[in-house]
C-alpha cells in the first residue's frame, strides 16, 4: 500500500513515516570546510538526553539511542560541558567507548562553572580546565572538535585561539570551532588558528546566517554545523498551540514558543507538510533535507530522545529535493513571517558577538 493512501485513511501521520533504509551505507559523509574533518552528513545532538527538554532520559535508553545512531551510520556526536555540567559528556563517553576511534566527538567550553546562566568564562586557565575534564568525562585521549560555546567579551578571541593552539600541539584537541560568533570574531580567530567549524542555529525558521555568515565561512573554508535544525521540535509538526511542555523544558521561556506565536508560526509547518506528502516523507525529513541541500559543507545535528525519531531524522539523508521543490519552499517561505525571538532577552545578548 502506498504511503499516500495511508495518509488518506488516517492510519498514520506524516511525522511517523520513515520509509528509507537505515543502513550505514545509506548515510553519506561531508567535510567540514577545508579542514579535512569528515563527518556523517547528519550528526546527533546529545543535549536533550540530559538537559534542556524536561527530565533526563534513562541512561540505558540513552546509550541504546546513541548506539543505534552509530549503527545507522552517524559518526558525528555533539555535547558540551554546559549540558548538565559534564553529565552529558559522561553519558556520551560511556556510550561510544566501544567505537570511539570510529567517530567524531564535538564538545564545548566557555561558560562560568559550566553553567550557561552564570555568564561566559574563556580565560586560558578555564579552557584548559574544561579540556582536561572533558577528556576524562568522555573517556578519551583527544577531543575531535572543541567549540567555544559563546564568545566571551572579556577575553580577546586571539587569546582564546592561542590557548586552543597550544592544546592542539599537545594532541588534546584535533580541531576547534566557534558558536554563534560574529563575522569579525571569526576572522580574528581564524587568523591565529584556523577554525574548522561554526556551530550556530539555522533552519527554515531562523535563516539569518545566510546573510553574513555563509559568505564568510565559504571564503575561509570553514564548515557550518546547524543546531536546532528542526526548530527545537517545532518543524516536526508534533507541536501546536495547545502543546504543554514539562515545567523544566527550556522552551517555556522562549518567546517563539508562546501560545500566540506557535499559532502564528504553524504556517511554516503547513509548508513542510505539503512538501512531505508529495515526497512520502515527514516534515522533519523535509526540513533536514532542505538544510542538506543548501551547502555541501553543512552538517546538521538534530537531537532526539526517541529511537523512532532518530530513524526518521536519519531518513532525511535519502531524500532528494529537486530544484523545483527548493524553489517552491523558497517562494512560500518568503511569504511567511516568523513570530517571536529565538531566545529570551537575557540569552539573546550572548549571540552574534
Report how far residue 47's alpha carbon sits from residue 147's, in angstroms, rounded to the nearest whole number: 15
Closest CA to 226 of 164, 183, 289: 289
Residue 128 burial by CB count (10 A; 0-12/13-18/19+): exposed, middle or buried? Answer: middle
> 28 to each of 105, 135, 169, 308, how far by Cα in Å?
18, 28, 31, 20
SS3 percent helix, strand, coil of the chain, rounded to 5, is 50, 15, 40
Say which of 53, 83, 137, 147 is annotated catalytic: 83
Report how far residue 137's alpha carbon sits from residue 143's, in angstroms, rounded to the nearest whole number: 11
Report the alpha-carbon angle 66-277-254, nearest 5. Answer: 55
User: CB neighbours (10 Å) of residue 7?
Assistant: 16
> 71 to each of 3, 11, 68, 98, 316, how far by Cα in Å?
26, 29, 5, 12, 16
Element (H, E) at 106: strand 104-109
Is position 3 annotated as part of the catalytic site?
Answer: no
| Strand 143-148 with 104-109, pairing | parallel
* Catalytic residue annotation: 83
Amino acid at each position: 500500500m502506498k504511503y499516500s493512501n495511508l495518509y488518506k485513511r488516517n492510519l498514520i501521520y506524516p511525522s511517523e513515516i520513515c520509509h528509507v533504509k537505515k543502513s550505514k551505507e545509506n548515510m553519506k559523509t561531508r567535510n567540514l570546510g577545508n579542514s579535512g574533518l569528515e563527518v556523517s552528513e547528519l550528526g546527533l545532538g546529545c543535549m536533550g538526553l540530559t538537559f534542556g527538554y524536561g527530565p533526563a532520559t534513562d541512561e540505558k535508553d540513552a546509550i541504546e539511542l546513541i548506539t543505534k545512531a552509530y549503527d545507522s551510520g552517524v559518526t558525528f556526536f555533539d555535547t558540551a560541558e554546559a549540558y548538565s555540567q559534564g553529565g552529558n559528556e559522561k553519558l556520551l563517553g560511556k556510550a561510544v567507548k566501544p567505537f570511539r576511534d570510529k567517530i567524531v566527538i564535538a564538545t564545548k567550553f566557555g561558560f562560568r562553572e559550566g553553567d550557561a546562566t552564570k555568564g561566559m568564562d574563556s580565560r586560558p586557565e578555564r579552557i584548559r580546565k574544561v579540556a582536561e575534564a572533558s577528556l576524562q568525562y568522555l573517556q578519551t585521549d583527544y577531543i575531535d572538535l572543541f567549540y567555544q560555546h559563546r564568545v566571551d567579551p572579556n577575553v580577546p578571541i586571539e587569546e582564546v585561539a592561542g590557548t586552543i593552539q597550544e592544546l592542539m600541539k599537545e594532541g588534546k584537541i584535533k580541531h576547534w570551532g566557534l558558536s554563534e560568533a560574529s563575522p569579525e570574531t571569526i576572522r580574528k580567530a581564524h587568523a591565529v588558528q584556523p577554525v574548522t567549524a561554526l556551530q550556530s542555529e539555522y533552519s527554515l525558521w531562523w535563516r539569518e546566517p545566510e546573510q553574513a555568515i555563509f559568505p564568510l565561512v565559504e571564503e575561509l573554508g570553514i564548515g557550518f554545523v546547524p543546531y536546532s535544525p528542526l526548530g527545537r521540535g517545532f518543524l516536526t509538526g508534533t507541536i501546536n498551540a495547545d502543546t504543554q511542555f514539562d515545567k523544566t523544558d527550556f522552551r517555556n521561556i522562549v518567546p517563539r514558543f508562546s501560545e500566540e506565536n506557535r499559532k502564528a508560526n504553524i504556517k511554516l509547518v503547513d509548508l513542510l507538510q505539503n512538501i512531505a506528502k508529495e515526497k512520502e516523507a515527514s516534515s522533519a525529513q523535509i526540513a533536514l533535507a532542505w538544510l542538506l541541500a543548501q551547502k555541501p559543507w553543512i552538517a546538521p545535528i538534530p537531537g532526539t530522545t526517541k529511537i523512532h525519531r532518530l530513524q526518521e531524522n536519519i531518513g532525511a539523508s535519502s531524500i532528494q529535493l529537486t530544484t523545483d521543490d527548493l524553489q517552491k519552499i523558497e517562494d512560500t517561505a518568503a511569504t511567511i513571517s516568523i513570530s517571536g525571538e529565538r531566545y529570551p532577552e537575557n540569552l539573546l545578548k550572548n549571540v552574534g558577538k
